[in-house]
Amino acid sequence: MRHHYLLGIAPSNLASVYMARKRYAHAEQIYREVIGRFTQTQGAGHLNTGIAHLKLGRALVRQERFAEAEGTAPHGLRHPDEADESHGQLAQERARGFGQRLRP
């Protein structure tokens, strides 16, 4: 069964709620799952995967697990100008859709 990357968005949002409620260990567990989902569906160098790594790092810092947090820095992330073609196309599609929603 192939998973869609959107199935990583909801858990990521839930983990953000846990972070706001200072339930850092719960958020950490979910962010680790989200990283796996995004890596599987979008690749290790995708923006969403990188953001999930950064959020995991934040959860670890809040638990004062600094050395482990430092190790969560995403490797291989590219600047958006250097992102692969599919990521650029997705961004363009989202921008077009956003512009259409703003029109009267």
Count CB neighbours of 91 within 10 A.
Answer: 13
Structural domains for the chain: 5-77 (1.25.40)
Count CB neighbours of 78 within 10 A.
Answer: 13
Its pTM stands at 0.69
Distance (Å, rounded) from C-alpha 68 to C-alpha 25?
A: 13
Give the tokens for residue 57: 């790092």
Count CB neighbours of 29 within 10 A.
Answer: 15
Q: What is the pLDDT along the chain (104 residues), one digit of tens a residue?
A: 467 878 899 999 999 999 999 999 999 999 999 999 999 999 998 999 999 999 999 999 999 999 999 888 766 555 555 555 555 555 555 556 544 444 44
**With DSSP H G I counted as helix, E B as strand and the rest as coil, what are the percentages for the chain, rounded to 5?**
75, 0, 25
